[in-house]
Structure 1
Amino acid sequence: MRIPTKYRFSRPLHGFTLVELLVVIAIIGVLVGLLLPAVQAAREASRRAHCSNNLKQIALGLHLHLEANGHFPKTVYGGYGTTPPGGGYKATSMNWSFLAFILPYVEQAPLYDAARIGDGVGGYLEGPSNLEFEIPDLVPGTIKNSGDENTGTAISLYLCPSDEGSSVGVYRDTTIYMKGKGQSNGTMAGITNYHGCAGSMSPWQAPYNNPGTEGPSPGLTEDHPWHNHPFRNGDGIIFPNTYLKPRRAATIIDGMSNTMLLGEDVYGRNFHGHNWVHSVCSWRLANCPVNLRDETGQFATHFIDLGFYSRHPGGANFAMADGASRFLSEDTALGIVRALGTLAGGEVVPNP
């Protein structure tokens, strides 16, 4: 039987009232508020794992270099260390960073060849402040301040995904000399978040209740002036003048698993930014707590606070000399950080 149209609906239809709509929106907002931190935490966990894998790959590259050459990469830094065997610093000094030397071992052989790193190109130029250096100009006619197309290359393996810094940054804020260009300031170069551990010795030791102030560093005496530690005689694996003291497996007396090889730092935090090109920016010290902050809660930026920093909550990633990755908490005692930074200190380090 056909039902008349007027009898098909027994009740009138109603839409959402304004109050009901607001309640639904509020519920959605609460759910988003509950889920967003979990999503962000999951993303950070992924970035931290990616960063850890980067360190493992770099450590593997260093070990491949060690196997091929019998030592970890040899570098020099400025006038510190005075005279290496065979004479002083020349136009062909090996002033590339360890990250530059391992390019062939981390699937970057074309870049290594293009930058002519194996040719010893790129010498150190003595200047009034011992801070001027020279890197190769491989593109004749390139304008000043633009940097070299090879040394300005960003390498994803050398970047922590948690750091929001640009992949290409200013080389230094002091004078740069480019072959064929003369003096240049603000030269661009590919940056890195990973730096070798030069050891625990430092020209200074910060009183950590007042970061940014200077104090004497334990282990240094008047017979060992600041520019000799760690610039010449660092007690870590990757210090600036390993040209003078090449690090071999046999020199790591504390054990591979108990010695830092490299760790993280935040781009632009101090020391004129960081790049993978030159040895001047390729190292950090185990001379202060991980992620040391000043009284305002910001990362310490004084030169003496030349330690390891990261954007990961609660600590930073490190690669040990055995190639394993290790996350050190911000709460790790300074004595343990310093002990891990030395290769032959004889310290007893607890298991992580």
Structure 2
Amino acid sequence: MLLGPSNRPTPTFGILAIFFLYLFAREELSMKMTSKRSAFTLVELLVVIAIIGVLIALLLPAVQQAREAARRMSCSNNFKQLGLAMHNYHDTHNSFPASAYTPADDPGYTYRAYSAWVQILPFIEQNSLHDQLVSSSDRFKIIWQSVAQRNTKVDAFLCPSDSAYPSGSPGCNYGVSVGTTRSYDSYSNQNGMFRGPQKDHTKPGVETAMRDITDGLSNTLMLTEGLVGDNNDTSLMNGNSSEPRKGSTVSWNQFPTQADLNTFGQACAGITDHNGSNGQYWITGLPSQTIFNTLAPPNWQYPNCQTSGSGFASDRDGVYAPRSRHPGGVLVSVGDASARFIPETIDLATWQNFGGRSDGKVIQLP
């Protein structure tokens, strides 16, 4: 029996009951007839067809909702496992991984950096892949584009609610938070749980320890989700998308107001030049690939946007809001490794403070 949210039978149950009572009554009547068994009349057939049509119309949305509930649960479990993996990494190395690590032999290009996901592979039962990758990359001395393992699919980095990346690349739906800042390659400007390389590349990747998160682990965002692109830089995707537009400048770096975001977002919405490679590789430490910030709320009404143009992916500063196919918000992993659903209607100041690790602001998550 299908039950509604108040534990009462749904209209589907009532229609089914009426339908079966009708069949039972008709059978009883036919058994009492002394003549040969009667056939369905045209009116009866039309009634049955109409009832079946109504049942299908009622059941299909319920089936879709059940499927999405299962997908969302799977996605939530991924966040729990990834959050625990981050804590296990911290137990081993006394810090969380950096958001990106530039290769030693080519430190001048941050778009060739390795992501935080590479570091936690041993903690999500991907030891073999980690060993192969470290060996192939000679411990991050060469660029990630040179290793075949970049195309390996890892289910732990994929949300079943989203579609697959179309070109045969592994895809990635999850990323670390660098906080409420548009800077992605300057660790001194990043106030989130994760920090990346220094802009002058003197530091390949800066790791953050629990002692640095003075706001408390349960008050700080760790991981969140994004959507994969369509591998098409010519046409824009329809609807909610993580693909970033290119080239809208701003004067602020941290904690923009709602008015600041509206002005920036409206300008971005008029730009068609974009990257369609978001969410293509879990191996690379770039915004819209494995890095997001908390400048704008989840499922922001405007498109994600860089502050300047770029080549492959989003190796530029910008607004990279988390996004998902879950109705009404996004899933996250909090600093204490718990999984939460954050509604897209969350107060902007609360969301921005949630992204900071040491701003001293007390928050109350919805």
Q: Does TM, scored on the shorter chain, surpass 0.5?
A: yes
Q: Which stretches in structure 1 are left out of the alignment for 5+ residues?
A: 1-8, 125-132, 138-147, 171-187, 204-225, 295-299
Residue among 195, 199, 207 paired with 1:239: 195
Query: Closer, same or farther in 2 for the Cα pair 1:338/1:118, shift >3 Å?
Result: farther
Query: Closer, same or farther in 2 for the Cα pair 1:267/1:62, shift >3 Å?
Result: same
Q: Are 2:217 and 1:256 equivalent residues in the alignment?
A: yes
Q: Are 2:158 and 1:159 equivalent residues in the alignment?
A: yes
Structure 2 match to 1:10: 34
Query: Closer, same or farther in 2 for the Cα pair 1:64/1:335, shift >3 Å?
Result: same
Q: Could you say what secondary structure the match of 1:65 adopts?
A: helix
CA RMSD of aligned residues (A): 2.9
Deviations 1:245-297, CA, capped at 9 Å, x for gaps: 32001001000000000101011132531221011232101011111124xxx
Deviations 1:276-327, CA, capped at 9 Å, x for gaps: 1011232101011111124xxxxx2433441100000000000001000110
Structure 2 match to 1:265: 226
Q: What is the rounded CA distance, in whole Å, between the counterparts of 1:77 and 1:302 in structure 2?
A: 23
Q: Could you say what secondary structure the match of 2:78 adopts?
A: helix
Structure 2 match to 1:43: 67
Q: Could you say what secondary structure the match of 1:246 adopts?
A: coil
Contact between 1:238 and 1:283, CA under 8 Å: does it hold in 2? no
Q: What is the rounded CA distance, in whole Å, between the counterparts of 2:133 and 2:106 in structure 1?
A: 23
Q: What is the rounded CA distance, in whole Å, between the counterparts of 1:151 and 1:165 in structure 2?
A: 16
Contact between 2:178 and 2:355, CA under 8 Å: does it hold in 1? yes
Q: Which amino acid aligns with 1:270?
A: E
TM-score (norm 2): 0.67
Contact between 2:182 and 2:319, CA under 8 Å: does it hold in 1? no
Q: What is the rounded CA distance, in whole Å, between the counterparts of 2:77 and 2:208 in structure 1?
A: 24
Query: Closer, same or farther in 2 for the Cα pair 1:344/1:265, shift >3 Å?
Result: same
Q: Which amino acid aligns with 2:37?
A: L
Q: Are 2:113 and 1:104 equivalent residues in the alignment?
A: no
Q: Which amino acid aligns with 1:302?
A: C
Q: What is the rounded CA distance, in whole Å, between the counterparts of 2:112 and 2:305 in structure 1?
A: 28
Q: What is the rounded CA distance, in whole Å, between the counterparts of 2:138 and 2:225 in structure 1?
A: 27
Q: Could you say what secondary structure the match of 2:89 adopts?
A: helix
Q: Which amino acid aligns with 1:290?
A: P
Structure 2 match to 1:291: 299
Contact between 2:99 and 2:116, CA under 8 Å: does it hold in 1? yes
Q: Which amino acid aligns with 1:277?
A: I
Q: Which stretches in structure 2 are left out of the alignment for 5+ residues?
A: 1-32, 199-203, 230-241, 245-276, 307-317
Residue among 12, 15, 27 paired with 2:51: 27
Contact between 2:304 and 2:321, CA under 8 Å: does it hold in 1? no
Which deviates more from structure 2 when the two are superposed, residues 262-271 or residues 62-71?
Answer: 262-271
Structure 2 match to 1:210: none
Q: Which amino acid aligns with 1:276?
A: W
Q: What is the rounded CA distance, in whole Å, between the counterparts of 1:134 and 1:16 in structure 2?
A: 69
Q: Percentage identity across aligned positions?
A: 32
Count matched residues. 271
Q: What is the rounded CA distance, in whole Å, between the counterparts of 2:144 and 2:55 in structure 1?
A: 56
Structure 2 match to 1:135: 145
Q: What is the rounded CA distance, in whole Å, between the counterparts of 2:135 and 2:159 in structure 1?
A: 24
Q: What is the rounded CA distance, in whole Å, between the counterparts of 2:365 and 2:301 in structure 1?
A: 26
Contact between 2:99 and 2:176, CA under 8 Å: does it hold in 1? no
Structure 1 match to 2:285: 279
Q: What is the rounded CA distance, in whole Å, between the counterparts of 2:118 and 2:349 in structure 1?
A: 31
Structure 1 match to 2:351: 337
Q: What is the rounded CA distance, in whole Å, between the counterparts of 2:293 and 2:136 in structure 1?
A: 27
- Compute the displacement of 1:25 (Å): 1.0
- Compute the displacement of 1:10 (Å): 3.2
Q: Could you say what secondary structure the match of 2:38 adopts?
A: coil
Deviations 1:125-162, CA, capped at 9 Å, x for gaps: xxxxxxxx55333xxxxxxxxxx2x2201111110010
Q: What is the rounded CA distance, in whole Å, between the counterparts of 2:136 and 2:219 in structure 1?
A: 31
Q: Could you say what secondary structure the match of 2:222 adopts?
A: strand
Q: Could you say what secondary structure the match of 1:66 adopts?
A: helix
- Compute the displacement of 1:236 (Å): 0.5
TM-score (norm 1): 0.69
Contact between 1:189 and 1:277, CA under 8 Å: does it hold in 2? no
Residue among 313, 327, 330 paired with 1:313: 327
Query: Where in structure 2 are the equivalents of 1:76-91 lying within 5 Å?
Result: 76=100, 89=107
Query: Closer, same or farther in 2 for the Cα pair 1:285/1:117, shift >3 Å?
Result: farther
Query: Closer, same or farther in 2 for the Cα pair 1:351/1:270, shift >3 Å?
Result: closer
Query: Where in structure 2 are the equivalents of 1:115-194 lying within 5 Å?
Result: 115-116=133-134, 120-123=138-141, 133-137=143-147, 148=148, 150-166=149-165, 189-194=169-174
Q: What is the rounded CA distance, in whole Å, between the counterparts of 1:321 and 1:259 in structure 2?
A: 5
Q: What is the rounded CA distance, in whole Å, between the counterparts of 1:250 and 1:117 in structure 2?
A: 32
Query: Closer, same or farther in 2 for the Cα pair 1:284/1:117, shift >3 Å?
Result: farther
Q: Could you say what secondary structure the match of 1:59 adopts?
A: helix
